[in-house]
Amino acid sequence: MTDIALPGNARGRASRARLLEAAARCFGERGYAATRIADITAAAGMSQAGYYRHFPDKNALLLEVLEEPLDALLAATGPLTEGSEVDEETIVARNTEFFRVYAEHRQVLRVLRELAAAHEPGLDAVWLDVRRAYVERIERWLRRLEKAGHLQTSDVGLLADALGGVLDQLAYTRLALAATPPTEATITALGRVSGEIWSRTLLG
């Protein structure tokens, strides 16, 4: 009888989930470069042989750890872009949700941001692809506003990038780099101030 926990069975899925949870914790606490596979397997209570049944290397594990947080972050930009109406309170609410999702996954998202800045092969492209997706979503919303006569700007694409950059930078400096987990008051303040910047840029 084999001892291998295949990914498709219940034991395999449970082992994989333990590795993902342990990796997210280790990457967040130690950083990507300082985290060894041995650290991850120790935190997961597994052997290194068990690790390699699921992942070929550390990069592959990081990409899977990031999948859920990045999907959630992208989804957090969705409701704002569904209509062509704009008002400050709606923008504040959507931006607050963005920061709330980011705060929940802040440690692993910080790791990706720092690896992208260092041009880690393959990982800078992951961040850029995700950022491009949400900036394009903002841009589609802005183009609807422009078409409806609610927006005048010389460059819609650049404006979308700039508005997205407000969220990026605040999330990284105020959430990802924070020494302690952010409070709800911090998240609310970030949503409010970024929403004011967005709405005053768009509404005048």
Tens place of pLDDT for every residue, the chain, 204 residues? 333 444 557 788 888 999 999 999 999 888 888 999 999 999 999 999 889 999 998 888 998 998 888 888 888 876 555 555 678 898 899 899 999 999 999 998 898 888 888 888 878 888 888 889 889 988 988 888 888 888 889 999 999 999 999 999 999 999 999 999 999 999 999 999 999 999 999 886
Q: Can you list the alpha helix ranges (DSSP code H) found in the chain?
A: 10-30, 37-44, 48-52, 58-75, 88-104, 106-117, 123-147, 156-171, 184-203
Nearest to 82 by CA among 152, 163, 140: 140
- Give the separation between CA 153 and CA 141, rounded to whole angstroms: 13
- CATH number attached to the domain at 61-203: 1.10.357.10
What pLDDT, on a 0 to 100 scale, did the predictor assign at position 80?
Answer: 59
Structure tokens that stand for 131 in this block: 């950022």
- Give the separation between CA 87 and CA 74, rounded to whole angstroms: 21
- Give the separation between CA 134 and CA 128, rounded to whole angstroms: 10
Q: φ and ψ at 180, to 5 degrees?
A: -125, 160
What pLDDT, on a 0 to 100 scale, did the predictor assign at position 2?
Answer: 34
Structure tokens that stand for 49 in this block: 């042989």
CATH architecture, domain 10-55: Orthogonal Bundle (1.10)
What pLDDT, on a 0 to 100 scale, did the predictor assign at position 85?
Answer: 61
pTM: 0.83
Compute CA distances 182 → 105, 170, 174, whole Å. 11, 12, 8
* Position 70, amino acid: L
Q: State the first-to-last Cα distance of the chain, in angstroms, to the nearest integer.
A: 70
Is residue 72 packed enough to be buried (19+ CB in 10 Å), middle (13-18) or exposed (0-12)? middle
Is residue 171 packed enough to be buried (19+ CB in 10 Å), middle (13-18) or exposed (0-12)? buried
What pLDDT, on a 0 to 100 scale, did the predictor assign at position 203?
Answer: 80
What pLDDT, on a 0 to 100 scale, did the predictor assign at position 5?
Answer: 46
Structure tokens that stand for 154 in this block: 């010389």
- Residues counted in the chain: 204
Q: Where are the domains of the chain?
A: 10-55, 61-203
What pLDDT, on a 0 to 100 scale, did the predictor assign at position 130?
Answer: 84
Compute CA distances 136 → 19, 130, 145, whole Å. 33, 10, 14
> Longest C-alpha distance within the chain, in Å?
70
